[in-house]
Amino acid sequence: MFKKHLLIGACAFALGAGSMAYISQQAQATARPKSETYRMLEVFGNVLEMTEKQYVVEVDEKKLIEAAMEGMLSSLDPHSGYLNGEAFQDMQETTRGEYGGLGIEITSEDGVVKIVSPMDNTPADRAGLKPGDFITAVNGQSVLGMPVSEAVKQMRGKPGEAVTLSIAREKTDPFDVKLVREVIKQKVVTSRMEGDYGYVRLSSFNENATEETQAAIKELQKKNPKMKGLVFDLRRNPGGLLDQAVGVADIFLDGGEVVSQRGRDPKDIERYNAQPGDLLSGLPVVVLVDNGSASAAEIVAGALQDRKRAELVGLTSFGKGSVQSVIALPGQGDGAVKLTTARYYTPAGRSIQKTGIEPDLEVAATREQAELIANRSFQFSEASLRNSLNAEEGKVRREAHAPAEAPPLTFDEKKDFQLARAIEVLKNGSVQATPKLPAAAPKIASVAPKAAPTPKK
């Protein structure tokens, strides 16, 4: 019997945050026999036999078939794929919040391994790796064109062993980073007070996300009974478990819809609702987001924005609005198929696939970032992935533009400007009531030809 799970994480494989929700269902067999399908399967068998007999060296038949399955599924979109037995076990382990690795959430773009987000306080984070960085080699061995699952194997290993990653970053010469593998005991929540306001950061949606977020908020309330509001930080959060996204949103909502998912059949709609009871009893909330906020993070941000429970500050989110079902194959050790089966929608009916969620107050973290956004070189998102699922008809992600706000020259960029603006929103009661800073004038790259010199007289 097949077993189906729901998957909403940002990327194909993880050396970081978990990305699978365990929801057992019967897998529905929808494929219908077609003469052309059977003919092509016969062609495939002929090609496999020819390769086995005539390739210049002996081949591994199992690896060839696994590669064919991975190629078939990954051609659909960046998040579908085949997981062999080892990769499937690795994925299950990452959702439990403790595993060996480097702490990187990755995907594949045109055959190149790309970082979606480093996880907080992991070797990758401490080494300064950034969303959008490309990993071109591991310990001197190229991973260009390598399936993500194989690249993961190259990076994983015994804790304490060193791994050297070769990194390509925009506007920077290629460089190597030496990391030491650790057993990642992922504590996904950090919290503190910022004056009269609480601050809670959630770095990913693993199995402990709801529990840890609840505990952090209760501890802040206990120690600070006069807390005036809360900043909930979802920046660089690559997503994870669907049930945890619903659970985290439930903390802030007093019942009502959190998210719905809709499959190929228009009648196939599943809704997820919050239970009565707002842990913060209506205290104002501001959610911080950026282009590293993906999937489950977007579900929470979109729900709180649509339900008027919180305002969003930061940058447009990643735009990963699809749901993957992970269907365990029946044979022992045969792995699983990961297939995009639905889009998810915010309570107001918004599908944010490719477009992302735009904040109520757009704020660049640094002056350099503002310039990059204005010049389109910062737009690493779902829309930048080559074969990503299309957005709803007519919808597009916002083009290059100067952000509404960026740190003024007088602001110390060692501090967190987006957080500072979020606290100002809390102090003033709303984005609308918050005095706006003069828009920075980032340098826009010129594409116009230089004027011809004026002839001397």
Catalytic residues: 295, 306, 320
Is the C-alpha dihedral spanning 175, 179, 185, 190 positive or negative? negative
CB atoms closer than 10 angstroms to residue 53? 8
Gap between the Cα atoms of 374 and 399, Å rounded: 9
**Torsion, CA 24, CA 300, CA 198, CA 102, rounded to 10:** 60
CB atoms closer than 10 angstroms to residue 447? 5
Look at strands 336-345 and 256-262 and give their pairing: antiparallel
CB atoms closer than 10 angstroms to residue 115? 26
3-state SS, residue 290: coil
Q: Find the angle CA(133)-CA(422)-CA(350) to the nearest 5 degrees.
A: 70
Look at strands 141-142 and 134-138 and give their pairing: antiparallel
Q: Find the angle CA(346)-CA(11)-CA(20) to the nearest 5 degrees.
A: 70
Residue-by-residue DSSP string for 422-448: HHHHHHHSSTTTSPPPPPP-PPPPP-S
The distance between the two most distant Cα atoms of the chain, rounded to a whole number of Å, is 88
